[in-house]
């Protein structure tokens, strides 16, 4: 949906009116041809929403660049990450400052219900079923990217796997609405 929204906006932005009188007619023609509702015209989409999309995409792109980087307990650099060091590094490099450890990161932002997860949300797990001990970044489609101690590297993981289901603790949204 984001891709089609951005594609539609690009298509409309590239429509060039012949003169100022035909500008409204031209936008109407593009809208009718592409079946784009009037509320989705570029000027009607709040700048904050577009910035959120860009920030989320940048975070997910950056996180993916570290696939395969080794898991290192206490690591917080591209030479090696632990889970919270990975999250802190990726978000800090996208203008969002977070605490260093997963238990404190779990207190930041706004709580999110599991069924309302959006890409870029932080997902927390409790190895002992009580205390937060792990964090990952939700990427969509029931998956997250994280510094996995069991895989020994930055990797994707499915939230439906039995361990993730049993140890799920909470989720937080730290990207501005």
Q: What residue ranges do the domains of the chain occupy?
A: 2-44, 69-173
Name the token pair of 42. Answer: 């570029």
> Do residues 83 and 136 make contact, with C-beta atoms less than 8 angstroms apart?
yes
Residue range 20-35: mean pLDDT, rounded: 42
Tell me how far CA of residue 85 lies from CA of 29, 37, 46, 78, 103, in angstroms: 50, 43, 32, 10, 12
**Helical H segments across 46-82, by residue range:** 47-65
Binned at pLDDT 50, 70 and 90, residue 53 comes out as confident
Superfamily of chain region 69-173: endopeptidase domain like (from Nostoc punctiforme) (3.90.1720.10)
Residue 23 has pLDDT above 50, yes or no: no
Residue 73 has pLDDT above 90, yes or no: yes
Model confidence pLDDT, tens digit, residues 109-159: 999 999 999 999 999 999 999 999 999 999 999 999 999 999 999 999 999
Residue 31 has pLDDT above 50, yes or no: no
Residue range 16-25: mean pLDDT, rounded: 42
Residue range 37-49: mean pLDDT, rounded: 54
* pLDDT for the residue numbered 9: 36
The pTM assigned to this predicted structure is 0.73
Residue 99 has pLDDT above 80, yes or no: yes
**Percent of the chain scoring above 90 in pLDDT:** 68
Residues 6+ apart with CB under 8 A from 173: 109, 110, 111, 112, 118, 120, 121, 122
Where in the sequence numbering do the catalytic residues fall?
83, 134, 146
* pLDDT for the residue numbered 52: 79
**Percent of the chain scoring above 70 in pLDDT:** 71
């Amino acid at each position: 949906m984001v891709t089609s929204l951005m594609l539609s906006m690009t298509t409309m932005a590239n429509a060039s009116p012949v003169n100022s009188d035909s500008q409204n007619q031209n936008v109407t023609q593009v809208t009718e041809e592409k079946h784009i509702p009037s509320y989705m015209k570029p000027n009607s989409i709040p700048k904050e929403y577009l910035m959120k999309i860009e920030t989320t995409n940048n975070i997910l792109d950056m996180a993916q660049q570290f696939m395969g980087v080794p898991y290192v307990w206490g690591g917080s650099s591209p030479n090696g990450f632990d889970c919270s060091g990975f999250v802190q590094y990726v978000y800090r490099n996208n203008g969002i400052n977070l605490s260093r450890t997963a238990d404190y990161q779990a207190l930041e932002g706004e709580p999110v219900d599991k069924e309302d997860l959006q890409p870029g949300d932080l997902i927390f797990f409790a190895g002992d079923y009580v205390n937060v001990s792990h964090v990952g970044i939700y990427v969509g489609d029931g998956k997250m990217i994280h510094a996995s101690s069991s895989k020994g590297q930055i990797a994707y993981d499915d939230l439906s796997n039995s361990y993730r289901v049993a140890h799920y603790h909470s989720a937080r949204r730290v990207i501005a609405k």
